[in-house]
Amino acid sequence: MNQLAKMARRSNRASSRSSREMTKYSRHVAVFRLTFCLLLLSTVAEAGLYTTSDQIVAISLDNYKSVLVNSSSAIVVEFYASWCGHCIAFSPVYKRLARDIKEWKPAVDLAAIDCADENNRKVCSNFSITGYPTLKFFHAFGRKDSTGQRIKGVLHDVQALRHEIIDLMEKQDPWPPACPPLEPTSQAEIDIFLETNNVRHLALIFENVSSYIGREVILDLLQFENIAVRRVLSTEDDLVTKLGVTEFPSCYLYYPGGNYTRLKVNIEARTFYLYALQGLPGVVRSGKSAPATRDNTSKSIEEVWRPHNRSRVYMADLESTLHYSLRVELAAHPVFTGEALTSLRNYISVLAKYFPGRPILMNLLKSLSLWLDNQTGDQVSYQAFSEILENSVQVPDAALPEGVRWVSCQGSQPHLRRYPCGMWTLFHLLTIQAKKFGGSDPKEVLNAMTGYISNFFGCRPCAEHFENMAKESLTEAKTFTDSILWLWSRHNRVNNRIAGALSEDPKFPKIQWPPPDLCADCHTVKDNGEHKWNTQQVLLFLQKYYSAEGILTDYLEDESEVLAKQKLKHASLLQTEAQKRIEREALEKANAPNIAAQKEEEEVADEDEEAGKALEPDGDRRQMIRRPSIVGMKPREVREDIVDLDSVVNRHFKAKAAQVATSSRVKRRTLQRNREERDSRLGAVLIDPNVASDERDLSDDGGLARRARWMSMLSIGFSKVDVSLCVILYFMSSTCLLAMYIFFKTRLRLRRAKVSLP
Ligand SMILES: Cc1cc2nc3c(=O)[nH]c(=O)nc-3n(C[C@H](O)[C@H](O)[C@H](O)COP(=O)(O)OP(=O)(O)OC[C@H]3O[C@@H](n4cnc5c(N)ncnc54)[C@H](O)[C@@H]3O)c2cc1C
Ligand SMILES: *[C@@H]1O[C@H](CO)[C@@H](O)[C@H](O)[C@H]1NC(C)=O
Ligand SMILES: *[C@@H]1O[C@H](CO)[C@@H](O)[C@H](O)[C@H]1NC(C)=O
């Protein structure tokens, strides 16, 4: 017997161990598979010298035909080997080129292929590539056997490459349909053009024959509507004298009827023309012009537009960002552990240190930061975090205003701008603040930002791109100034990459920021006429634009209002909590006799075998489910049938309880089935305990609760009756005794009196 039991136990243990090991094993397999997939993915994405963020088409054995053959745009391909030093040195130039001519994509696109990849070797040898890097130009609608034209020349200069590409573009025979004419124009052609085309602005760039600016601007604006750009050579005497052009290059806006004005720019150069022309009224990216038709229903819900100064930062945007970040975005994470917890700590810490918020908000951020620092465990739940965030301990004068009021981050449509715009604004501001007040770590803010973005930022592709940028170059930032400029330049890189994307607000086009009308001194040109940022001026501008003192406080909710709202919320929370506590206590009281009844119920159930079997397996669970049904019900008046003074009441009660038990069991069983059906129908919706208990109160399970209460009332009432009965009996018997005593006493005295009578 003993042996057997031991064996059983052992085998039991073994099997449980093996099952544990099985789950462990399968978990390992899953983890392995996951890491393998991730590895694969990352090697795919990072094998070559370029990533998806670089806007360079990755060519491989699988796609080279579809990319190169019969393409509607011209294509420049870099053949490289990832191990070759020259290729590595050239890759930043190629990336810069890709960013520089990003707007030309419909006419000419950039691609690259890693010939060091075994799979691609055949492709590279087909194109007779022998040395790396090699650049080749494939014109539009190329044939299958086309091997492309080799681009010679300097491979370290973006401008030279750009010019080379333009030269090749001009020689194409099937002209890419998306590419506007690049050749110089004349007076006669312009007159015909204006007659036949209905274009709002015609920009004429007057330049020398060797200049590329005209053609560059033509290509730069090829994706924009309501504007056409043509180049006019300085030798085109008719037009030059008609407009009185003396400076080359220069740009004129030419209108029907021979009206013209000179385009005002700080410097006569490509970038300045671009900023100015893109800013003309009606000039929008193709396909973005039509303002989305909104039906009336959504219009009525829409917020009113908040007028604001476009060259200022608004506290309302920053508070809205914090509201969304802390109450919505973070709430998606029930628990923070490991890296996420560290990121949360760093984020809150830089906010508490550098955010130039109103006193109430700063108090709150500080209490949050302090609380997080005091959490010594390796995990923090959002629930606990949220309690501090909502100031449930009622730190005086601390609150985060609720809701969003976008001002300078308003979008022309509800899905545009807003939170991501606020996020950028917040972190630019923090880098500036850190320079003013920061400690020893110049990257403190950027590390906090990277941590937040990669762990919590809802837009996952954005987070990935941002992480890539941080990995690539964040180490470059060695001082506070570096950090400010790093974030500025990376933000511009994002602006460049997503210009024209669906997320772009047509009313707020993505430009390289700040534009000359915000900061003229920020822009300058190199000797070769290429645009150059004056980073010294950019820094000064950023420090002014994002200075804490310059933040406007329009549209903010009043501090006292915010605090009052919080108090109100807190009070109502306390009230519901108190209510819950009372209900819980009532429940516990009601539950004690309920358990007693349950026992008897079970005894009876034993007799009723079938019912007993049905009951047994989930008895506990049912009791748990049943419990809340009493919650929220006020005790009803004592019912007459319980005022039964006879001691027989005990037996009567037992019989009744048994009756109740069996009848309620039947009820419960059907109810259980109903509930199970309902649960499966509603899925997870029913997890809300309030909803569940409400439903149960509505159902006939209430009858059972009534019985339970009935029993409890009975026991209380019984003891009361007992006591009073005792008192009455005691009182009655003593009066009786007293009466008897008096009676006999008087009788005795009377008799004695009679006897004593002479
Ligand atoms: C970290 C991060 C990564 C993102 N990645 C992507 C992505 O990969 N793809 C995508 O579609 N969207 C991405 N977004 C969203 C996108 O960048 C914009 O925030 C969003 O499209 C709203 O654009 P916006 O017009 O409001 O201007 P935003 O780019 O949000 O800029 C907000 C404000 O900051 C100022 N500003 C603009 N440029 C600069 C600058 N260089 N330096 C300082 N201040 C500047 C301007 O006043 C501007 O109005 C990302 C957002 C963030 C925060
Ligand atoms: C090339 O593409 C054009 C349209 O872009 C199409 O009309 C033509 O048939 C294609 N030619 C070949 C050979 O595929
Ligand atoms: C907007 O702010 C700028 C910078 O402070 C200021 O020069 C300008 O006058 C303001 N514009 C308006 C309309 O208030």
Q: How far is the CA of 494 from the centre of ligand 1 (A)?
A: 7
Burial 695-724 (b: 16+ CB within 10 A, else e): ebbeeebebbbbbbbbbbbbeeebeeeeee
Task: Give the C-alpha separation, 651 to 30, whole Å.
Answer: 63
pLDDT of residue 593: 62
- The protein residue whose alpha carbon is closest to atom 12 in ligand 3 is 309
Are 417 and 411 in contact by the 8 Å Cβ rule? The answer is yes
pLDDT of residue 102: 96
pLDDT tens sequence across 32-48: 444 443 433 443 444 68
Pocket flag, ligand 3, residue 309 (CB < 6 Å)? yes
Pocket test for ligand 2, best of 66, 70, 73 (most atoms within 8 A of CB): 70
Pocket flag, ligand 1, residue 490 (CB < 6 Å)? no
Pocket test for ligand 3, best of 306, 309, 407 (most atoms within 8 A of CB): 309
Active-site residue flag, 409? no
For range 643-667, the mean pLDDT = 43
Nearest ligand 2 atom to the CA of 143 is 13
Pocket flag, ligand 2, residue 286 (CB < 6 Å)? no
Q: Which ligand is nearest to the CA of 415?
A: 1
Burial 394-431 (b: 16+ CB within 10 A, else e): ebeebbbbeebbbbbbbeeeeebbbbbbbbbbbbbbbb
The token duo for 693 is 């208990």
The token duo for 287 is 């396909």
Q: At 752, is the pLDDT very low, low, confident or very high (cuts 50, 70, 90)?
A: low
Q: How far is the CA of 537 from the centre of ligand 3 (A)?
A: 19
pLDDT tens sequence across 222-280: 999 999 999 999 999 999 999 999 999 999 999 888 899 999 999 999 999 999 999 99
Pocket flag, ligand 2, residue 71 (CB < 6 Å)? no
Identify the CA nearest to 314 among candidates 484, 562, 546, 508. Answer: 546
Q: What stretches of 338-459 show up as alpha helix (H) in DSSP?
A: 338-354, 359-374, 382-389, 419-437, 444-456
Q: Which ligand is nearest to the CA of 431?
A: 1
pLDDT of residue 556: 96
Asked if the model's pLDDT at residue 397 lies above 80, the reply is yes
Amino acid identity at 720: K
Are 236 and 228 in contact by the 8 Å Cβ rule? The answer is no
Task: Give the C-alpha separation, 115 to 125, whole Å.
Answer: 9
Cis bond before residue 249 (omega within 30° of 0): yes
Select which of 37, 87, 115, 409 is catalytic.
87
- The protein residue whose alpha carbon is closest to atom 14 in ligand 3 is 309
Nearest ligand 1 atom to the CA of 408 is 49
Q: How far is the CA of 546 from the centre of ligand 3 (A)?
A: 14
Nearest ligand 1 atom to the CA of 490 is 41
Pocket flag, ligand 1, residue 493 (CB < 6 Å)? no
Q: Which ligand is nearest to the CA of 174?
A: 2
Active-site residue flag, 736? no
Q: Which ligand is nearest to the CA of 458?
A: 1
The residue among 23 and 141 whose pLDDT is bigger is 141
* Phi, psi of 337, rounded to the nearest 5 degrees: -135, 165
Q: Mean pLDDT: which of 133-137, 188-192, 677-681 is highest?
A: 133-137
pLDDT of residue 730: 65
Pocket flag, ligand 1, residue 336 (CB < 6 Å)? no
The residue among 663 and 147 whose pLDDT is bigger is 147
| Range name among 396-400, 468-472, 485-489, 653-657 with the lowest pLDDT average | 653-657
Pocket flag, ligand 1, residue 538 (CB < 6 Å)? no
- Determine how β-strand 201-207 pairs with β-strand 227-233: parallel
Are 552 and 312 in contact by the 8 Å Cβ rule? The answer is yes
Asked if the model's pLDDT at residue 560 lies above 60, the reply is yes
Q: At 738, is the pLDDT very low, low, confident or very high (cuts 50, 70, 90)?
A: confident
Q: How far is the CA of 544 from the centre of ligand 3 (A)?
A: 13
Q: How far is the CA of 311 from the centre of ligand 3 (A)?
A: 7
Pocket flag, ligand 3, residue 125 (CB < 6 Å)? no
Residues paired with residue 134 on neighbouring β-strands, in sequence order: 79
pLDDT of residue 573: 87
pLDDT of residue 689: 34
| Mean confidence (pLDDT) of the chain | 80
- The protein residue whose alpha carbon is closest to atom 9 in ligand 2 is 70
pLDDT of residue 684: 33
Asked if the model's pLDDT at residue 416 lies above 70, the reply is yes
Asked if the model's pLDDT at residue 531 lies above 90, the reply is yes
Judged on CB neighbours under 10 Å (0-12, 13-18, 19+), 354 is buried
pLDDT tens sequence across 343-378: 999 999 999 999 999 999 999 999 999 999 999 999
Pocket flag, ligand 2, residue 12 (CB < 6 Å)? no
Distances (CA, A) of 246 to 175, 249, 268: 33, 9, 13
Q: Which ligand is nearest to the CA of 416?
A: 1
- The protein residue whose alpha carbon is closest to atom 10 in ligand 3 is 309
Q: At 749, is the pLDDT very low, low, confident or very high (cuts 50, 70, 90)?
A: low
In this structure, how many other beta carbons lie within 10 angstroms of the beta carbon of residue 612? 15
pLDDT of residue 731: 65
Are 409 and 428 in contact by the 8 Å Cβ rule? The answer is no
**For the chain, what percent of residues have pLDDT higher than 90?**
60
Distances (CA, A) of 86 to 34, 159, 295, 473: 35, 19, 57, 20
pLDDT of residue 302: 54
Q: How far is the CA of 553 from the centre of ligand 3 (A)?
A: 14
Asked if the model's pLDDT at residue 437 lies above 60, the reply is yes
Q: Which helix (H) or strand (E) holds 113?
A: strand 108-114
Pocket flag, ligand 2, residue 72 (CB < 6 Å)? yes
Nearest ligand 3 atom to the CA of 309 is 1
Judged on CB neighbours under 10 Å (0-12, 13-18, 19+), 367 is middle
pLDDT tens sequence across 87-96: 999 999 999 9
Q: Which ligand is nearest to the CA of 493?
A: 1
pLDDT of residue 537: 98
Q: At 197, is the pLDDT very low, low, confident or very high (cuts 50, 70, 90)?
A: confident
Residues paired with residue 205 on neighbouring β-strands, in sequence order: 231, 251
* In 199-338, beta strands by DSSP E: 201-207, 224-225, 227-233, 250-255, 259-262, 284-285, 335-337
The token duo for 259 is 């009206």
Are 193 and 202 in contact by the 8 Å Cβ rule? The answer is yes
The residue among 593 and 536 whose pLDDT is bigger is 536
* Dihedral angle of Cα 305, 309, 314, 316, to the nearest 10 degrees: -20
- Transcribe 202-218 into DSSP letters: EEEEEE-TT--HHHHHH
pLDDT tens sequence across 716-727: 444 454 555 645
Pocket flag, ligand 3, residue 544 (CB < 6 Å)? no
Task: Give the C-alpha separation, 422 to 401, whole Å.
Answer: 15
pLDDT tens sequence across 562-582: 999 999 988 998 899 899 999
Pocket flag, ligand 2, residue 66 (CB < 6 Å)? no
pLDDT of residue 705: 45
- The protein residue whose alpha carbon is closest to atom 30 in ligand 1 is 421
- The protein residue whose alpha carbon is closest to atom 13 in ligand 3 is 309
| Range name among 21-25, 168-172, 272-276 with the lowest pLDDT average | 21-25
Asked if the model's pLDDT at residue 220 lies above 60, the reply is yes
Q: What is the DSSP letter of 60?
A: -
Tell which phi-psi region holds residue 375, choosing left (phi > 0), alpha (psi between -120 and 50) or beta: beta
The residue among 735 and 645 whose pLDDT is bigger is 735
Pocket flag, ligand 2, residue 70 (CB < 6 Å)? yes
Asked if the model's pLDDT at residue 513 lies above 80, the reply is yes
- The protein residue whose alpha carbon is closest to atom 3 in ligand 2 is 70
Pocket flag, ligand 1, residue 308 (CB < 6 Å)? no
Are 214 and 249 in contact by the 8 Å Cβ rule? The answer is yes
Identify the CA nearest to 589 among candidates 421, 709, 672, 428. Answer: 709
pLDDT tens sequence across 45-63: 446 899 888 999 999 999 9
pLDDT of residue 596: 55
Pocket flag, ligand 2, residue 534 (CB < 6 Å)? no
Asked if the model's pLDDT at residue 12 lies above 70, the reply is no
Pocket test for ligand 2, best of 71, 141, 143, 175 (most atoms within 8 A of CB): 141
Q: Give 258's contacts (C-beta < 8 A, 6+ positions apart).
A: 242
pLDDT tens sequence across 177-192: 999 999 999 999 998 8
